Structure 1
Amino acid sequence: MAVKLAVVLVLFNLLALGIAKDFDFFYFVQQWPGSYCDTAQSCCYPKSGKPAAAFGIHGLWPNYNDGSYPSNCDPDSPYDQSKVSDLISRMQRNWPTLACPSGDGSAFWNHEWEKHGTCSESVLDQNGYFKSALNLNAKVDLLKVLVDAGIEPNGGEYSLTSIKQAIEGATGHTPFIECNSDSSGNRQLYQVYLCVDTSGSQFIQCPVFPRGKCASTIQFPSF
């Protein structure tokens, strides 16, 4: 009986370790609202009003080193706004929804938690997940970084290399830049990906980048 119990405990510990290691790193993704809105689909401002002209949080996404990622890991852990009540004002400012129809942000945050946050529950509970993203956002002011490098959101065109170099110079880590297209088909700066360790607290060099690429010169629209 003692031997069986020891085997069960070993298996349980191995399982627990496996659960704790259910992803390898996070993508921390910030989006430029001007590019979200400057498309054929356009956007809707949240009920709280037009967001500030700043890169807003899109999400904190667990990923694997091979480029794949887990999603919707725990259907028994729904988004519960009461668990993040102390963070709502920060989320409204820094994690605003731009989807139509206009909303209060809860649908956006619900999606991010259920698709991505539930896959990091072994490390971050619901409050910790959103707080980690907000704290990461506070660590790097992407708009200031770019403006200080002469890259301004005025509809002008800038080299992709100069954008990457400015962000890498400020953070010490190479970003991935995602582009989208405006209503005329021009490619524009849309999202910036930085990688984060599994604690959700420290930026790291990305083990792998997402697929896709921008043109060598892209627009930075106003907002």
Structure 2
Amino acid sequence: MKPNYSIFIFKLLLLQYLSSQLCLSQDFDFFYFVQQWPGAYCDTKQQRCCYPKTGRPAADFGIHGLWPNYKDGSYPSNCDHNSVFDRTQISDVLSSMEKHWPSLSCPSSNGLRFWSHEWEKHGTCSESELDQREYFEAAVKLKEKANLLKLLNNAGIEANDEFYSLESVRNAIEEGIGFTPGIQCNKNSAGNAQLYQIYLCVDTSGSQFIKCPILPKPKCPSTIQFPKF
């Protein structure tokens, strides 16, 4: 008997459709809200930075992303290939994004490539809770809510190339936010470990900071540099 290729193709397409729907309907447990210090991004051997076309960003933490995560440390990604980044959906928060979510990658850009990547890799996995506009708006509001630089400065920790204890950095943020942050370091061109990214955990509505179910594995020594920008 000759194989019925039409039935085979139908089953294959049905399987692909069901798989895509399963991915779209995946729940997640919390968000990582990740902010990045531009001075630490720009002074490593591995990469160089380019200022956005809007000009040099302020010497402040910038948003890296709002990332859906599971409590076991894994995370979903690229959950909806049909949901592409659409600038028209974020027109009313665009100026805030340019301020709080600048792209420092090269070549210089207006941020659209960066935001598109973040939406398509991470944002599409939160569509059960937030549409595209709500996703970006939530990130901007969280940035305004968590003024990390102010919290550190109030504790005497400044971006002046000086070294500070990792514990003092963690404690300053925990005191201001109410929850223990995750801290990621990288190394500058001189090989010094420096403050690079700060992870805060957020509930699935994207509005409230929560205790982190799991924190990224620390890769920082006990003393770290807070570089100038």
TM-score normalised over the length of structure 1: 0.91
Offset at residue 140 of structure 1 (A) = 1.2
Once superposed, what is the RMSD of the aligned Cα atoms?
A: 1.5
38-47 or 67-76: bigger deviation: 38-47
The answer to whether the 8 Å contact 1:29/1:59 transfers is yes
Query: Structure 1 stretches (4+) deviating beyond 3 angstroms?
Result: 16-21
| Distance across 2 between alignment mates of 1:205 and 1:213 | 20
> What is the deviation of 1:17?
11
Are residue 23 (structure 1) and residue 32 (structure 2) matched?
Answer: no
User: 1:216 Cα deviation (Å)?
Assistant: 0.5
**Mapping 1:117-128, distance limit 5 Å:** 117-128=123-134
Match of 1:12 in 2: none
Instruction: Pick the aligned partner of 1:88 from 94, 117, 130.
Output: 94
Aligned residue among 82, 97, 103 for 1:76: 82
Name the counterpart of 1:7.
Answer: none
Residues 1:34 and 2:39 aligned together? yes
Give the counterpart letter for 2:161 in structure 1.
G
Structure 1 residue 184 displacement after superposition: 1.3
TM-score between the two structures when normalised by the length of structure 2: 0.88
8 Å Cα contact 2:26/2:125 also seen in 1: no
Specify the code of the residue in structure 2 equivalent to 1:216.
S
- Cα-to-partner distance string for 1:7-46 (whole Å, 9 max, x where unaligned): xxxxxxxxx9996661100000000001111112221000
* Residue 186 in structure 1 maps to residue 192 in structure 2: yes
| Deviation per residue, 1:50-84 (Å, 9 max, x gap) | 00011110000000000000000000000011110
Q: How many residues align?
A: 208
Letter in 2 for 1:24: D
CA distance in 1, matches of 2:177, 2:170: 11
Instruction: Please show how residues 99-138 of structure 1 align to structure 2 within 5 Å.
Output: 99-138=105-144
The answer to whether structure 1 residue 215 and structure 2 residue 225 are counterparts is no
Distance 1:93 1:61, change over 3 A: same
Specify the code of the residue in structure 1 equivalent to 2:148. Answer: L
Gaps of 5+ in 2: 1-20
Residue 18 and residue 82 in structure 1: after superposition, are their counterparts in 2 closer, same or farther (change >3 A)?
closer
Which residue identity is paired with 1:34?
G
Q: 2:204 & 2:190 partners in 1: Cα distance? A: 40
In the other structure, the counterpart of 1:177 is: 183
- With over 3 angstroms needed to count, the CA separation of the structure-2 counterparts of 1:76 and 1:20, relative to structure 1, is closer
When residues 87 and 142 of structure 1 are mapped into structure 2, their CA distance, relative to the original with a 3 A threshold, is same
1:158 to 164, 167, 177: 164
2:92 aligned counterpart, secondary structure = coil
Q: Tell me the distance in 1 between the aligned counterparts of 2:22 and 2:65.
A: 25
Counterpart residue number, 1:44: 50
- Percentage of identical aligned residues: 65
More displaced stretch, 17-26 vs 84-93 = 17-26
Q: Secondary structure at the match of 1:85?
A: helix
Name the CA distance, whole Å, in 2 between partners of 1:120 and 1:175: 22
Distance 1:218 1:18 in 2: 40
Query: Cα deviation per residue 1:151-176 (whole Å; 9 max; x = unaligned)?
Result: 00000000000000000000100000
- Rounded to whole Å, the distance in 2 between the matches of 1:219 and 1:58 is 20
